[in-house]
Amino acid sequence: MVAVLMFLVVCGILILGYPVAISLAGTALLFASIGILHGSFDEAILLAFPIRVYAIMTNSTLLAVPLFIFMGVMLEKSKIAEQLLETMSELFGSLRGGMGLAVTLVGMLMAASTGIVGATVVTMGVLSLPTMLKRGYNVSLAAGTICATGTLGQIIPPSIALVLLGDVLSNAYQQAQLAQGSFSPKTISVGDLFAASILPGLCLVVLYLGYILLISTLRPDWAPPLTKEEKAERGGLVRRVLLAMLPPLVLILAVLGSILSGSATPTEAAGVGAFGALVLAGVRGTLTKSGLQQVGEETTKVTSMVFFILIGATAFSLVFRGFEGDELIREAFETSSYGPGTLLFITMVVVFVLGFLLDFIEITFVVVPIVGPILLAQPEIDPVWLGVMLAMNLQTSFLTPPFGFSLFYLRGVAPPSVRTSDIYRGVVPFIGMQLSMLVILWFWPQLATWLPQAIYAK
């Protein structure tokens, strides 16, 4: 039970606000030291830690992380989102809820071209929230729309979350097969998860759009259309919309197309995306020496944070297994009278609850390696479907109070008139839609598995 206590302690430390990577590694080393002193932990287990760190350093799949981050930050600095939002708002402005529809569609395009939640939420918050409030939008509706659409970068590829989750699930799937005596295990790739998440991600966008249209019909005063003066100023709109949409669409097709066609791995496609973002910035005249330096610094900071957490989580999982925590969970699963579906449901509930307290990176690196091999040992559970279910569930961690990062991002750039309670109320319907999407995926797994099977003929 020391492993259980160790998990509870690290959750408590994280809730207190200490740095994630140091909390994970520090808790692991503290419990390992106490265990060594009491003779309940084999110190030889720690010798595997350098080997695991070296495996992280040489993992070619994880090389996609800094490249996608670079692509997203470069596109943010290129002001592409600003131009997109301006033209899309004019395009849908004559409709009730038109600004909300524009924010959702631009968020979808930014998700498919950056994959960085923080950048999308902050950009949308700065550009669209003051305008929506000025036009008379309900505060909660405006705030909830921006927070929710910003999290689409979690499920719509190319997503950094899917890259990290794909690597962890691939290892878990191989462990599950080796434990069953299969010494030529099948694999799943990041490309599989990218293909599998496209349709669920688009369905979630449709749910968001439907909600905005419904609420603007039932409560017209919550989402008013453009004024007559604003409509009169929309000259040459179609041309400007096409020019604004063309650059991100070309980049999306280049990155996702190269992956789905099999002509490039996710890491190679990330390189294509990073180069494409550089070209777009150069064409738009935003590629300056100082701007490039800012992009490099931001990319380095975010990448360092991700890998620092990964190394801390590696130390934690190593010590957790040293105290036989994985055996405890496996035994609890195997001796229970529940079937695979119930066990998966319990896991999804636990992940959802942890999303109130922990970030998706922490859950991915700490929880998934523990439960993944056990769940994937069940023949009824498809690994690609499980990956999309977990990704959709982890997406809610950005929206669930009190520690939803998307809420904090918007709170940091929102006007003083927007209260934190307004933001919390605004995201509740969108959390419900994400949970509804999980239910749809539960009963219709083909929504996730059909496209990768059709593309890769698996």
Per-residue pLDDT at 291: 84
Are 119 and 76 spatial neighbours (Cβ–Cβ below 8 Å)?
yes
Are 144 and 424 spatial neighbours (Cβ–Cβ below 8 Å)?
no
Q: Is the predicted pLDDT of residue 204 greater than 90, yes or no?
A: yes
Q: Is the predicted pLDDT of residue 458 greater than 60, yes or no?
A: no
Give SS3 for 93: coil
Confidence of residue 235 (pLDDT cuts 50, 70, 90): low
Per-residue pLDDT at 387: 92
Whole-angstrom CA distances from 414 to 88, 115, 132, 151, 273 are 21, 22, 12, 17, 31
DSSP 284-312: TT---HHHHHHHHHHHHHHHHHHHHHHHH
Q: What is the pLDDT of residues 318-369, one digit of tens each?
A: 888 888 877 777 777 767 777 778 888 988 988 888 887 777 777 888 788 8
Question: Which has more pLDDT, 62 or 216?
Answer: 216
How much is the average pLDDT of 301-308? 85
Task: Measure the CA–CA gap between 138 and 406, rounded to whole angstroms.
Answer: 19
How much is the average pLDDT of 167-171? 87
- CA nearest to 302, candidates 359, 367, 387: 359
- CA nearest to 368, candidates 349, 353, 347: 347
Alpha helices by DSSP H, listed for 180-263, are 190-218, 228-232, 237-260
CA trace torsion 443, 448, 453, 455 (10° rounding) = 150
Are 114 and 247 spatial neighbours (Cβ–Cβ below 8 Å)?
no
DSSP 18-36: --HHHHHHHHHHHHHHHHH
The conformation of residue 355, written as its DSSP 8-state character, comes to: T
How much is the average pLDDT of 270-297? 86
Alpha helices by DSSP H, listed for 358-404, are 360-366, 368-376, 383-395
Per-residue pLDDT at 230: 56
Domain that holds residue 187: 2-35+43-456
User: What's the one-letter identity of residue 336?
Assistant: S
Backbone angles phi, psi at 266, to 5 degrees: -55, -35
Q: Is the predicted pLDDT of residue 134 greater than 80, yes or no?
A: yes
Report percent pLDDT > 90 for the chain. 17
- The tally of CA atoms less than 13 A away on the side-chain side of residue 297 is 7
Q: What is the pLDDT of residues 270-281, one digit of tens each?
A: 888 889 888 888
- CA nearest to 373, candidates 172, 180, 164: 172
Per-residue pLDDT at 74: 84
Per-residue pLDDT at 374: 83
Per-residue pLDDT at 24: 86
State the first-to-last Cα distance of the chain, in angstroms, to the nearest integer: 41
Number of folded domains that form the chain:
1
Return the number of other C-beta atoms located less than 10 Å from residue 113's C-beta.
Answer: 30
Packing angle, helices 48-57 and 289-322, rounded to 10: 150
How much is the average pLDDT of 231-245? 68
Q: What is the CA radius of gyration of the chain?
A: 23
Task: Measure the CA–CA gap between 309 and 326, rounded to whole angstroms.
Answer: 20
Q: Is the predicted pLDDT of residue 405 greater than 80, yes or no?
A: no
pTM: 0.83
Average of per-residue pLDDT values in the chain = 83
Task: Measure the CA–CA gap between 375 and 348, rounded to whole angstroms.
Answer: 11
Structure tokens at 249: 């669409």
Place of tokens 């039932």: 218
Q: Is the predicted pLDDT of residue 394 greater than 70, yes or no?
A: yes
Q: Is the predicted pLDDT of residue 120 greater than 80, yes or no?
A: no
Per-residue pLDDT at 73: 81
**Three-class SS of 108-171:** HHHHHHCCCHHHHHHHHHHHCHHHHHHCCCCHHHHHHHHHHHHHHHHCCCCCHHHHHHHHHHHH
Residue 369: cis peptide before it, omega within 30 degrees of 0: no
Q: Is the predicted pLDDT of residue 234 greater than 60, yes or no?
A: no
Are 358 and 34 spatial neighbours (Cβ–Cβ below 8 Å)?
no
Confidence of residue 125 (pLDDT cuts 50, 70, 90): confident
Range among 7-16, 46-55, 323-332, 401-410 rated most confident:
46-55
Q: Which of 86-95, 112-121, 337-346, 423-432 has the lowest mean pLDDT?
A: 112-121
Backbone angles phi, psi at 45, to 5 degrees: -60, -35
How much is the average pLDDT of 63-86? 80
Confidence of residue 433 (pLDDT cuts 50, 70, 90): very high
Per-residue pLDDT at 184: 67
Structure tokens at 206: 């449709």
How much is the average pLDDT of 234-238? 63
